[in-house]
Amino acid sequence: MLNKKVEKKLVEQIEKEGYSSSLYLAMASWAECNGLEGIANWMYAQSDEERMHMLKIVKYVNERGGQAVISGFDKPPTEFKNVKSMFEQVFEHEQKVTASINDIVEVCLNEKDFTTHNWLQWFVNEQIEEEASVSAILDKLKLLGDQNLYLFDRDIMGMRGQMPSSME
């Protein structure tokens, strides 16, 4: 049976993962409308991945005797200053998600829910990879400056393909 404090934190995380999916979908739409097909495709893939994270938590909560509650999500922004600032927002968002996952881990340890703690290690590792991936993108964008996005946009999905297979 799932500990009630842990269940509460996991249900909160479901909402955060759902918002992440919506945020990246909004970013994909913005990129697509601005002729950035590669970035749009990268963001669409990120949105799908975040939705899968949400579903993974939903199924876990339900399988462990809890009840996953699906709430509404805040509306994400629809306009972004430029590609670099958008990816800076992605990085900041992923850092918040990492902090949230770490909070759940702390509750698991305090409540001696070692089963959920063990299960959460996949998310801990996932966040390490997410932050590293976006950090690498930001490094490339810093090299480019505000110009020459054509090649970056064309090659960004190849950067996604270089991610470790555990992200799939």
Residue list, annotated binding site: 17, 50, 53, 94, 127
In angstroms, rounded to a whole number, what is the distance separating the alpha carbons of residues 34 and 19?
23
CB atoms within 10 A of CB 65: 9
Residue in 91, 107, 75 with CA at minimum distance from that of residue 11: 107
CA distances for 143 relative to 1, 112, 128, angstroms: 51, 46, 23
Q: Give the residue ranges of the annotated binding site for Fe cation.
A: 17, 50, 53, 94, 127
Q: Which residues contact 124 (CB under 8 A, 6 or more apart)?
A: 101, 102, 105
